[in-house]
């Protein structure tokens, strides 16, 4: 997860700031698919521009390039180096079975 890694180079620090920004936009969205949220799209576009301008750091490539990397709890991201595009999705099923609770009014 991105919040457990400590960036050591300037490039990693810039990427970390972008990844954190994307993660929090995903946490704040009300959409099931975070890619449908305009705020998430804007932040992903900034990260894509950063990665096109400066090649990804080794840490970023190791975690996200052509594979699903964990962006946070229940969030995954993949960076396609060939196209320069980022894909983001929730890592949880839409309906979780066995998690139905009955609420009772307290008397």
Find where tokens 């009300």 sit.
Answer: 30
Residue 30 lies in a domain: yes
Contact predicate 94/77, CB 8 Å: no
Instruction: Let me know if residue 26 belongs to a domain.
Output: yes
What's the number of domains the chain is made of?
1
Query: CA-CA distance, 88 to 77, in Å (whole number)?
Result: 4
Position 93 scores a pLDDT of 62
Asked, for residue 100, whether it belongs to a domain, the answer is no
Whole-model pTM: value is 0.78
Can you give the pLDDT at residue 74? 83
Do residues 62 and 70 make contact, with C-beta atoms less than 8 angstroms apart? no
User: Can you say whether the dihedral through the CA atoms of 22, 27, 30, 32 is positive or negative?
Assistant: positive
Q: What is the pLDDT of residues 33-84, one digit of tens each?
A: 889 999 999 999 999 999 999 989 998 999 898 888 888 778 889 999 899 9
pLDDT attached to residue 4? 64
Assigned token pair, 45: 């576009």
106 occurs within a structural domain? no
> Of all residues in the chain, what percent carry a pLDDT higher than 70?
80
Domain ranges, residue 79:
2-89
């Amino acid at each position: 997860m991105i919040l457990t890694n400590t960036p050591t180079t300037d490039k990693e620090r810039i990427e970390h700031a972008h990844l954190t920004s994307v993660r929090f936009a995903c946490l704040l969205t009300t959409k099931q698919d975070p890619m449908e949220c305009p705020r998430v799209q804007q932040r992903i576009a900034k990260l894509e521009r950063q990665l096109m301008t400066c090649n990804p750091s080794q840490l970023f490539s190791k975690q996200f390039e052509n594979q699903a990397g964990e962006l946070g709890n229940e969030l995954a991201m993949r960076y396609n180096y060939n196209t320069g595009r980022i894909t983001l999705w929730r890592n949880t099923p839409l309906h979780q079975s066995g998690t139905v609770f009955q609420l009772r009014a307290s008397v």
